[in-house]
Amino acid sequence: MAEKILWANNVSQHFGGLVAVDQVSMELNKGEIVGIIGPNGAGKTTFFNDITGMYDPTEGQVFYRGKDITGKKPYEVTELGITRTFQNIRLFDRMTVIENVMVGVHSRTKANIVDSLFRLKNHKETEKKAHEKALSVLELTGLADFRYNYATSLPYGSQRKLEIARALAAEPEILLLDEPGAGMNEMETSQLIAFIRELRDLGYTILIIEHDMRVIMNICDRIYVLDHGKLIAQGKPSEIQSNPDVIEAYLGKEH
């Protein structure tokens, strides 16, 4: 039987009178790739924010490995083993590629300010580990040759990859990808699909928001569909494709 590691229980997020996420429950098993789809404004990113502690859910709880993580701060959620990327690329502009990824290693190292002021052993170990980890992740993502360039000087597709690389450096068990394929061309999308599969083979569990159905239908084991904040369908890709509610949500929105 599958090992359930993340579980959202009736999570709601209200902003004043607006209900952005309405009683959404979902679960994620170890080693799965699970997709969240839905029209624009369906509450997908808000739901990510609820899981990762960016927002405090109005109702409901989020459990990670049996532990209630509702209302934890984003940095605590990352420390526990859940790391995310952003829909609108949020790299550190004035830092180099390798520094961006070294920031990702933050939660897995522990040199404090005193260690660094006096260049103690802890500082040296931290620097060594951060550098090595960053390099290995950059090699995995194929960005190693650009490591001393500024993050924003990379082409768009590479910036998306760097977002993932930075998240991987935090050594997460669960990776939350928010529209990693947005703005990518055909070739980049194919590479992305292969890369996400590779990540699963490496043992990461992945929750992914994506508009590109090619990505979703190709890689996801299961899919959740949100519309107007509500969960309207869930199931295997083949089931979702033929689900009348889903078709209505999409076509009703687009036509």
Partner 1 sequence: MVENNQNPIDKASQQNLDEAVIKAPIKSKEKPVKRFFTSLLEFWAKHQTAISLAFLAIAILFPILFNQQYFLSIGVNVMLYATLSVSLNLITGFMGITSLSHAAFLGIGAYTAAILSTRLGANFPITFLAGAAMAGLFGLLLGLPSLRIKGRFLAIVTLGFGEIARMVELNWMSLTRGPQGISGIPKVSLFGWIMKTPAQKYYVILVILVLVVLAVAAIMNSRVGRAISAIRDDEVAAEAMGINVFGYKLMVFSISAAFAGLAGAFYAHYMSFIDPNAFSFAQSILILSVTIFGGMASIAGSIFGALTLLALPELLRFLIDYRLIIYGFVLVIMMVFQPNGLLGSFNLKHIKQQAMFRKSQERSES
Partner 2 sequence: MFFQQLVNGLTIGSTYALVTIGFNLVYGVLELTNFAHSSFYMLGAYLTVFSMTWLLGRVTPLGFFIGLGISIVITGLLGALMDKASLEPIRKRNGAPITALLTTVGVQTIINNSILLIFGTESKPFPDVFQLGKVYVGDTVIQIFQIIIFVVAILLMLGLSYLVYRTKIGNAMRAISQNATAAKLMGINVNTVITITFLIGSAVAAISGAMMGTYYQKIDTLMGASVGLKSISSAVLGGMGSLPGAMFGGFIIGIVETMFAAYVGSGFRDAIAFIIMFVVLLIKPSGLLGVKIETKV
CA 183, 185, 187, 189 dihedral sign is positive
Beta bridge partners of 68: 63
Segment 149 to 208, residues that bind partner 1, using CB under 8 A: 149-150, 152-156, 166-167, 170, 183
Does 96 participate in binding partner 1 (rule CB under 8 A)? Answer: yes
Does 147 participate in binding partner 1 (rule CB under 8 A)? Answer: yes
227: tokens are: 């519309």
- For residues 86 and 250, which CB has a smaller minimum distance to partner 2 in the complex? 86
12: tokens are: 């709601």
Contacts of 249 (CB under 8 A, 6+ apart): 38, 39, 42, 225, 227, 232
Instruction: Choose the contact partner of 106 out of partner 1, partner 2, none; CB within 5 to 8 A by kind.
Output: partner 1
Segment 31 to 50, residues that bind partner 2, using CB under 8 A: 49
Distance CA 146, CA 138 (A): 9
Task: Pick the binder of partner 1 from 67, 94, 121, 255 (CB under 8 A).
Answer: 94
* DSSP secondary structure string for all residues of 164-208: HHHHHHT--SEEEEESTTTT--HHHHHHHHHHHHHHHHTT-EEEE
- For residues 54 and 144, which CB has a smaller minimum distance to partner 2 in the complex? 54
Q: Which parts of this chain interact with partner 2 (CB under 8 A)?
A: 49, 54-55
Q: Which residues contribute to the site for partner 1 (CB under 8 A)?
A: 52, 54, 73-75, 78-79, 83-84, 86, 88-96, 99, 102-104, 106-107, 109, 111-113, 115-117, 119, 123, 126-127, 130, 147-150, 152-156, 166-167, 170, 183
